[in-house]
Amino acid sequence: MQTTFLGKILHTPIVLASGVLGNNKAILERVWENGCGLPTMKSIGPAPREGHKNPTVIDLGNGMINAVGLPSPGYLNMEEEWQELSGRTFPINASIYGGSVDEFVRVAEFVSAKGPDFIELNISCPNSDKHGMIFGVNAQSSHDVVAAVKKVIHVPLIAKLTPAAPDIASIAKACEDAGADAICAINTAGPGMVIDIESRSPVLAFKKGGLSGPMIKPIAVRCVYDIFKAVSIPIIGLGGISTGKDAIEIIMAGATLVGIGTAVRYRGISVFDKVTNEISDWLAAHDTTMEKIRGAAHREV
C-alpha cells in the first residue's frame, strides 16, 4: 500500500510513533520490514539525560501511562547510531527536543546533517517542565521554535503536537505559518495520575505521566479533525490506533499517515502489517481508496 508523503515514497502509510522502540538500527529496520512505512526515532535531546526513575511505564489495560523522562545520550554522543543508520535502506524520522529555541536549533542543525528523511520537533512531551509541552501549548512559542529550526535544516519538518493545548488547531496553524511541512498529532494525553490504593502512592516514580493507547483515541480523532480544518499541510494521525478500523477513523478525521505506538506492545511487531492489511481489506470491501476517505467526516451528508 504505497503512499507518497512530502515527496518520499513510503511502502505503507503506517508510522512508528517516537519513543516506542528506541534508536537502534536493527530494531528500526525490523519494524520497517514488518510493514511500517516510516520508523520514528526516540526524541534526541541537547545533553545526556538519564530520564526518570522506575517505574516509568505502567500498563492500565486500556492503554498506558508513562513518565520515561526524555532519556537521551545527547545529540553529540550518537556517532555509532548515525554511522549504522547511514547505511540504511529505509526512511527515518528523527525526533528532537530542546529546553530553549537555541537548543532546538543546535540539535536540529546537527541531526539534519546526519541525513534523516524527516525531522520531527517534539514540542509536546508531558514529562518535563522545561522541555516539550511548554512550547506546544502556546501558539507564539510553537511558531518561534518551528521558524528558527526551519532555517537550519534541509529535510521536511514535522511538528508533533500535544492535546493539552487549549486550541490544538491554532497551534497547528502557527506551525504551518512558521514553515512546518506536516503536523503529527497527538503526543500522549494528560498528564494523568494513577494511585495504588494499597500503598497509597502514585504508581509512577515521577507521579504523573502521559496517557496512551485505546483510552485516548477519541481525543486523537477530535484533534486531527480540528487540525484538518485549520491547515493545508498533511497530518500524521496517532493516539490509540490499534486496528485497521481505528486507522480508517483517523483518516476520515483528516490524517494522511497513521501512527502506531502503544499497540506495538499489545499486538506485537506484526501490528504494522496487520493494520495495513486491515485497512486494505476495509477499503476493498467498501470499494474505495485512502484518498477518497481522507477527511470524509468533514463532508455534509
Q: Are the CB atoms for 164 and 137 separated by under 8 Å?
A: yes
Site for ligand RRO in 159-218 (CB under 6 A): 187-188, 210
CA distances in angstroms from 127 to 26, 94, 255, listed in the order given: 27, 19, 26
Catalytic (active site) residue 125: yes
Alpha helices in 75-167 (DSSP H): 79-86, 101-112, 133-136, 139-150
- Strands (DSSP E) contained in 116-181 are 118-122, 157-161
Which of 14, 28, 38, 67 touches ligand RRO by CB under 6 A? 67
User: What count of other Cβ atoms lies within 10 Å of the Cβ of residue 77?
Assistant: 12
User: Rounded to the nearest whole angstrom, what is the least distance from the CB of residue 31 to ligand RRO in the complex?
Assistant: 18
Which of 10, 16, 38, 70 touches ligand RRO by CB under 6 A? 70
137 binds ligand RRO, rule: CB under 6 A? no
Q: Does the N-terminal peptide bond of residue 27 adopt cis geometry, omega within 30 degrees of 0?
A: no
276 binds ligand RRO, rule: CB under 6 A? no
User: Rounded to the nearest whole angstrom, what is the least distance from the CB of residue 126 to ligand RRO in the complex?
Assistant: 6
Q: Which is nearer to ligand RRO, 54 or 270 (CB)?
A: 54
145 binds ligand RRO, rule: CB under 6 A? no
Which of 3, 122, 242, 262 touches ligand RRO by CB under 6 A? 122
Whose cell is 526515532? That residue is: 41
State which H helix or E strand residue 246 sits in.
helix 244-253
Q: Are the CB atoms for 224 and 254 separated by under 8 Å?
A: yes
Q: Which is nearer to ligand RRO, 142 or 188 (CB)?
A: 188
Site for ligand RRO in 15-44 (CB under 6 A): 19, 43
Catalytic-labelled residue, pool 125, 175, 184, 223: 125
Binding site for ligand RRO (CB under 6 A): 19, 43, 66-70, 122, 125-127, 132, 187-188, 210
Catalytic residues: 125
